Amino acid sequence: MTRVLTGARLFDGHAFHDDLAVVIEGDEIAALIPAAEAPAASERVAGLLAPAFLDLQVNGGGGHLVSGATTAADLATVCAAHRALGTAGVLPTLITDTPEATAQVIAAGIAAIGMPGFLGLHLEGPHLDPRRKGAHDPGLIRPMTAEDLARLCDAARRLPALMVTLAPESATPAQIAQLRAAGAVVSLGHSDCTLAQARAAMAAGATCATHLFNAMSQLGNREPGLAGAVLSGDGAAGLIADMIHVHPDTLRVALAARRDGLFLVTDCMSFAGTDLTEMMLNGRRVLRRDGRLTLEDGTLAGADLTLPLAIGHLVRQVGIAPERALAMASRIPAEVIGQAHRHGTIAPGRRAEMVLLRPDFSLSGYWSGGDWHLPPG
């Protein structure tokens, strides 16, 4: 069945267009045509039409937290919760846990291949630096072993995408190179490394950094640290733009220093898509209060954030161009995990998954499976 959408301002992943209509055939975009040539039976929509978003760091959603008990059905719950929020695909994320938990989540991910919204997995730890543990359990943080490396390389070969967050202090350049050769996206994070250590890891194959500025060595006048390596390099890096994890002025500096490669993540927990106010994380309570998630001692434990909200923050509070903020939630994360041929842009041959946004960038509706869907609430 052919559907034609017209009337909206279109962001195609790169730039805005005010005179294009989108022709959809089944689950794919067939063509972009001049709005003046759209057939009379076209469906008129009002607002901003953009590629549905991608989120490369989601710890849970729909009431489920990714853990050693996670099954493929649980991953379906997480993916569905985020699709309802306008996110076409996610990397469900397991934070630092046991080898058995890692193996279980990888098995669940392999079973979930082909599931709507499932892009692959993100394993954030356990090969981190306990000095920058954040909300991770320090008792589970450990250096990477040969067995760990073999498990991760096998997962990278079998999953559509695998992101591995590690600290250079807990993995050697040779291990990083093997992960990269197997197809994993190696992301540096939860690290107190020096600039030299960060650059050695990047030279070995690390191409990304996890939640820039958070849980990492900071930019100093004599030691630039991991933050400085990212800002002076050309790799990718995720940003949590809830205006809590990173100050708006710090975001402004980062976005001025790096003209491309930075992308948005929510780092959300099982709260996403629910009204829950508390959850458990490795036996510790996480509290949802006043737009932030914390352990009982006040340590930030993920973010209470959606991508439309993050985009609005960047435009209104940080002052970047709307097209850049939108690309940071769509095209750029697709490029980071090698999925730009399917996601992140509105172009012929891409998946027909789009969001309709209001002027404040809040979600009005999302297109998936050949029709419109309304967001929850």
Rounded to whole angstroms, what are the CA distances from 32 to 12, 107, 138, 339, 341? 10, 40, 51, 21, 16
Residue 318 and residue 248 in contact, taking contact as beta carbons nearer than 8 Å: yes
- CATH class of the domain comprising 2-50+345-373: mainly beta
Give residue 143's pLDDT: 98
Res 221: pLDDT: 96
Q: Sketch the domain layout of the chain as residue ranges.
A: 2-50+345-373, 53-336
Q: From the candidates 97, 192, 267, 304, which is the catalytic residue?
A: 267
Give the model's confidence band at 325: pLDDT under 50 very low, under 70 low, under 90 confident, else very high: very high
pLDDT category at 22 given cuts 50, 70, 90 is very high
pLDDT tens for residues 53-78? 999 999 999 999 999 999 999 999 99
In angstroms, the CA 167 to CA 216 distance is 9
The number of residues making up the chain comes to 377
**Cα gap 27→368, rounded to integer Å:** 8
At 290-311, the pLDDT tens digits run 888 889 999 988 889 999 999 9
Q: Cα–Cα distance between 234 and 40 in angstroms, integer?
A: 47
Check the CA dihedral 180-99-236-116 and report its sign: positive
Can you give the pLDDT at residue 129?
Answer: 98
Q: pTM of the predicted model, to two decimals? A: 0.96
Q: Token pair of 333, please?
A: 């994360």
* CATH code for the domain defined by 53-336: 3.20.20.140
Return all residues near 371 (Cβ < 8 A) that are at least 6 apart: none
What tens digit of pLDDT does each residue of 80-99 get?
999 999 999 999 999 999 99
Mean pLDDT of 196-200: 98
For residue 267, indicate whether it is catalytic.
Answer: yes
- Report the mean per-residue pLDDT for the chain: 95
What's the average model confidence in pLDDT over 340-364? Answer: 96
Three-state DSSP class for residue 36: helix
Where does the pLDDT of residue 377 fall: very low under 50, low under 70, confident under 90, or very high at 90 and above? low
Whether residue 225 has pLDDT greater than 70: yes
Distance CA 201, CA 190 (A): 14
